[in-house]
Amino acid sequence: MVRKISIALAATKISIALAATLIMAGTAWADPIEGNWKTKNGDTAAISACGGSFCIKLKTGQYAGKSIGSMKASGGGKYVGSITKPSNGKTYSGSGTLAGNSLKMTGCVLAVLCESQIWHKL
């Protein structure tokens, strides 16, 4: 009986260790774009995985809680998708370029009229 309890305890410890390892590995595998970013206006935007994309949601400021875009990785620190300007609710073709702790976010109308901002990772 004591031997069965020892085996059960060992199996439980192994399961806990494995679960902790998987959780930590998941964090290590996160895309570098994920996290909190300081926008040009000083607001905080959170970028997180959602399905096969990355969703962008404002966490602070006048438009806190508003979703403002979605992007997919296209390789080499580049992302493509859409960006919504929170002040008018209009959605534009968007892109992002990651360089270290800086993220250049660009929204374009007709691929000609573009506006860019540099965000910094918090």
How many whole angstroms separate alpha carbon 88 and alpha carbon 90?
A: 6
Residue 34: exposed, middle, or buried by beta-carbon count in 10 A (0-12, 13-18, 19+)?
A: middle
In degrees and rounded to multiples of 5, residue 82 shows phi and psi of -135, 150
pTM of the predicted protein model: 0.74
User: Which contiguous run of DSSP H or E holds residue 27?
Assistant: helix 2-28
Helix (H, G, I), strand (E, B) or coil at 5: helix
Per-block average pLDDT, block size 10, for the chain (122 residues)? 54 47 47 95 96 96 97 96 94 96 94 92 96
What's residue 26's pLDDT? 41
The sign of the dihedral angle between the CA atoms of 103, 109, 112, 114 is negative
71 strand-pairing partners: 54, 81
First to last CA, the chain: 54
Owner of token pair 């970028």: 47
How many whole angstroms separate alpha carbon 80 and alpha carbon 92?
A: 11
What's residue 115's pLDDT? 93
User: Which contiguous run of DSSP H or E holds residue 29?
Assistant: none
